[in-house]
Chain A
Amino acid sequence: MNHALRRISLLVLALFLALLVNANYVQAFQSSSLASDPGNGRTFSQQFQYQRGSIVTADGKTVAKSVPVKHGTFSYQRAYPYGKLYAPATGFFPVNGTPTGIELAENKLLSGNDPTLAVRNLVDMVTGKPKKGATVQLTINSAAQQAAYNALKSIHRPAGVVAIDPSTGAILAMASYPSYDPNQLATLNGNKFNRVDKGLLSDPAQPLINRAINATFPPGSTFKVVTASTAIGTGKYNSSTPIFAPTNLNLPDSNKQLINFDNEPCDGGRPPMIYAFTVSCNTAFGNLGMKVGGGKLHRQAEKFGFNNQGLKIPLPVSASSFPRVSDPAFTAYASIGQFNDTETPLQEAMVAAAIANHGTLMKPYLVQKVTAPDLTSLESTQPAVLSQAVSSQVASEVTKMMTDVTQQPDGTAHASAGTAASGGTVIAAKTGTAQNGINNVGLDDAVFTSFAPASNPKIAVGVIVKGGGLGADASAPVAVQIIRAYLASQRG
C-alpha cells in the first residue's frame, strides 16, 4: 500500500502547491488591481484612518491638512484652512468618488502609498509608528495667490489668472473665479458630500472648473506678441521697421475688412512696428501675419506652448489651440487672436514668461518638492526647458515693445499698468480685448499678458476675465496687484 500512499502524498503536494501559487497570484500580482477596484472600500477608508500628508505653499502656509476626528471608522478629516483661495491648486479629497487637483495628482505621496515610501512604512510598521503621508510643497507664493484671488473676486466675473517665475517655470499664483470651498466637500458624511457635490456640479457659475488651466478663451490682441515674434524671427523685421497699417485692411478672397479698434487710423498708415504694437493696431498685425504666413505663425505658436495636448503641472492642462491656417483672410484674423485661437490663462503667462526669460520657455510646474514624514526630501522639481520659443534678440525686441505698452503715454496699458499704477515697477505687457458672440454682440473678454520688472523679470502674469471688456481696464489691474504683492513679498 505504500506505493499508493506515496502517490497520494504527491497528490496532496499538488493541492498545497496550487494553494500557494494561487495565494501568490492574489496577494502579489492581483493586489494592485484589487486595490484599484472601485468597490474596494478598504483602500478607500484606509485613507481616512491615518494622517494624510499636508499641502503647503512655497512660503510655508499650510493649505490642506488632515485633522483628527471621530467619525465611525474614520480617524482623520481633510481641512483646507484658506477655503476657496487655494481650491484650484489643492482640489479636494472626497469620501466618495475621485479626488481632484493636487490631492489627485500627488495622491500616492500624500497617502503614503508611493513605492518611494515603502521602506519607511515598513520601518514604521515594525516600530509601531502610525503611517503618515508625505508633505507636498507647492510653488505658490501666498502673497501672490491672495492678491490674485482678491483681484478676481472684486471684478466678480468668471476669470482665471496664472503667475509664473519666468526663469524656472515655477507657478507663483493660480487663481480661478468663481471658486468653491473644498471644506464643504471634505465632509466624511457620504450623503452630505453627494448633496454638496451635486449642487456645485449643477451650479451655472461652474465653480468647480479651474479656469486658470482648464478653460480656454480667445487671446485677442495679446496674440500680437506671437505674431511680432514670428515676424522679427524671420530676420526681416525689428521693432522699428515701418509696417503697413491702413484704417481698413481689405482681406483677399473675401468681402470682409479688418478694422482697427473704434475705426481709428494707425499713425498715417505706416508706423514703426513698436508703435503699432503699443497702440495695438489690428490692421498692422493682420497684414504682418499674412506676410509671414499661417505656417510660420503656427510653428511659432507651438513653440510658445500652443497645441500641447499633454502638458501636466502635474495637473493636466487643457491645450491652448492655434490651428494651422493657410487662407490669408483667416490668417489675418488669427494673427490678432480672433479666429479659432483659444488659450488658457496659463498659456497667456507662458508667452510672457518665454519673452521675459530671453526666449527660453521653462516648463511650468506647481509642485516644488515632496517631503517624507521624517522630513527627508523625497523629490524636488528641477526646472526644465520646454522649448526655445524665440532667440534672445527677438525676446529683447519684443520686450522693448511690451515695455512701451505701459510706459508710452499712448500705450494701451499706460494708465492701468504704468509706473504710476505699479508703484514704480516697469511692467512689460500686452493687452487684449477678445470679441465674442455672433457679430461680436457678447461682452468682450479682457486679456492681459505681462512680466515685471521689464529689465530683470521675476514674474510673468497671464490674466483672462470673461466679459471683462477692455483688457487694459479689467485684466491689467489684476496683474499689477499680483506683481506688486509678489515683488513686495520678495523684498520683505
Chain B
Amino acid sequence: MPVPRGRRRTELVMLAFAVGVVLAAYASAGLGLNGKVPSGLAGYGLAFAALVLVAHLVVRRLAPWADPLMLPLAALLNGLGIVMIWRLQQAGHGGNPGVAISTMTSSTTTFQIAWSAAGIAAFVAVLVVIRQPRTLQRYTYTFGAIGLVLLVLPALPGIGSEVNGARVWISIGGFSIQPGEFAKLALAVFFAGYLVSKREVLALAGRRVLGIDLPRARDLGPVLMAWAASLLVLFFETDIGTSALFFGLFLVMLYVATQRTSWLLIGGGLFLAGAVVAGKWIPHVHERFQIWLNPFLGSRPYGSAYQLVQGLYGMGFGGVLGTGLGHGQPYVTPLVQSDFIITAFGEELGLTGLMALLLIYGLIVQRGLRAAVAVRDPFSKLMACGLAFVLAVQVFVIVGGVTRLIPLTGITTPFLSQGGSSLVASWMMMALLMRVSDTARRPAPQPIQDEGMTQVVRTG
C-alpha cells in the first residue's frame, strides 16, 4: 500500500515555476512596450514570490494534504492578470505605444497587487477559520441569508450603482464592490447544507413521463423559488450572466444531491424560457442577443457591438501565436482590463496562450471536482462540486461571451480581471476547495493493529 503523501514539495516546485512564468511575462511585456526590462522587476517579483510563499507555508501548516496543483495554478492566473493589467495601464504612457486607457489610473496595478495580497490574506483566513468543511453546515441558513442580502444589495437604491447597463455594484465609502462575487460562495454553502438535509425528500419520484421520473409537485417549491430569485436578479439587475450563474449552481447541486435528471431538464427548461422572455422584453438583454447574433450588422463602428467586435478583432489580430506582450493593441477595446481581459491575452499571447489559460481554468475545476468525488462527507462533496462548477460556468459565461460563443454578459474573469471583489472571492473559493481536498486526501486514522504496542491515534 503506497504511503499517502501531502505533496507539498511538488506544490513548492510548481509555485516556483508559476512565479518564474509570471516574471518572464512581466519582463517580456516591458521589452515589448519599450525595449526595456521593467525597473520594478526585482521588487514586484520579490513581493509576488513572498505572497505566494506565505500562502504555501500556510497550506503546509494548515492543509498539508491539500491538492498540490490548485495553489500554483491560481497563483499563475493571478500573476498573469497583474502583468496584463500593468501592460494595459502602461499603454500610451511614458512613450509607450498605444493610447492611454481612460478607465485606468497610474495606481491601478498597485491596487491590483494590493487586492492580490488581500485575496491571499482571505485565503489564509479561510484556511485558519475553517478547519473542517463540515463545520460550515451548521450555518446553512446564515449563509443563505448572507447570500440573499449580497444578491439584492445592488438592486437597492442608494448603494447600488449601475455600470454598463448592469446593476451589480455597490459603493461604500469610495470602494466599489461586486457583492455577487461573494454571494456565489455563500449560496454554494447554503445550497449544500439545504440539499444535504432535504435530498431524500427531493429525490422522491412522482409520476413517470417519457421515461423520466418527475418530482412531486410540492417538492417543486425550492426550485421555483430559486428560479424566481434568479429571474428577479435578471430583471432588477439586468444581469443575465449572474442570473445564469446562480440558477446553474443551484440546479447542478440539486442534481448531484438527488441524482434526478428530471431536475436538470425542468430547471434548464425554466431557465431557457426565462431567458427567451427576458430577451424579448428587457431591452438591455434583447440588445445583447442582437449583438451576439449579428455583431457586424450595424454601420461601422458597429454601435453597441463595438466592444465585442473590437475584442474579436484583437483575438483575430493575435492569431495563433499572438503579437507578443506589449506588441498588440488591446487598449482599443473598451474595458479590456476587466470583462474583456481574455481578449487581451488572446491578442498578445495568441490562440496558444488563450488555450493555455483555458486549460489552467479547466485544471482548477477538474481538481475541485476531484476533491468532491474523493471526499466522503456529503455536505463537503456538494459544496466542492458547487464551487468548482460555479467557477467553470463563470469562465464559460465570460470567455464564451467575449469570443461570441454565447451572448455577452458582463461578469468578471476569475483571477485575471481588474478588481478586488472577484480576486478576493476567487482566493476564498480556492481556500474552500483546498480545504475539502485536504479533508479528502487526509489518510484515515491507522487502525489499531493486533500485534504490537498501543499506538497514538490521530484523529481529525
Chain A interface residues (CB < 8 Å from chain B)? 1-6, 8-9, 11-13, 15-16, 18-20, 22-24, 26-28, 30-35, 37-43, 45-46, 49, 72-73, 75, 122, 125, 128
Contacts and interface: CB of A to CB of B under 8 A. Distances in A.
Contact of A18 (B296, B365, B405): B405
Nearest to A121: B321
A28 B158 CA distance: 47
B300 interface: yes
A16 B252 contact: no
Contacts, number: 147
A40 B302 CA distance: 11
Nearest to B388: A12
A117 to B, nearest CB: 14
B393 A20 contact: no
Contacts of A122: 321
Given A26-B312, A26-B316, 12 more contacts: A3-B259, A12-B366, A12-B389, A16-B365, A16-B396, A23-B354, A26-B315, A27-B316, A27-B318, A30-B316, A42-B317, A73-B97
B312 A34 contact: yes
Contact-size category for B: 35 or more
A130 to B, nearest CB: 9
Most buried by B among A3, A23, A28, A122: A23
A37 to B, nearest CB: 7
Given A5-B381, A12-B392, A75-B97, A42 B351 contact: no
A77 B355 CA distance: 36
Closest 6 CB pairs of A and B: A34-B316, A27-B351, A39-B300, A31-B316, A22-B405, A4-B256
Interface in B333-391: 346, 350-351, 354-355, 358, 361-362, 365-366, 369, 372-373, 378, 381-382, 385, 388-389
Contact of B373 (A6, A11, A49, A125): A6
B21 to A, nearest CB: 16
Nearest to A22: B405
Interface of B: 31-32, 35, 92, 97-99, 252, 255-257, 259, 296, 300-302, 309, 312-321, 323-324, 327-329, 332, 346, 350-351, 354-355, 358, 361-362, 365-366, 369, 372-373, 378, 381-382, 385, 388-389, 392-393, 395-396, 399-400, 403-405
A39 B309 contact: yes
8 contacts: A5-B372, A8-B369, A9-B366, A16-B395, A26-B315, A39-B296, A42-B328, A42-B332
Contacts of B369: 5, 8-9, 12
A469 B405 CA distance: 67
Contacts of A38: 300
Most buried by B among A5, A33, A38, A122: A5
A352 to B, nearest CB: 48
Contacts of A30: 312, 316
Nearest to A45: B329
B319 A15 contact: no
B317 A35 contact: yes
B259 A4 contact: yes
Nearest to B405: A22
Contact of B329 (A19, A20, A32, A42): A42
Nearest to A40: B313
A39 B301 contact: yes
Contacts of A6: 373
Contacts of A43: 313, 317
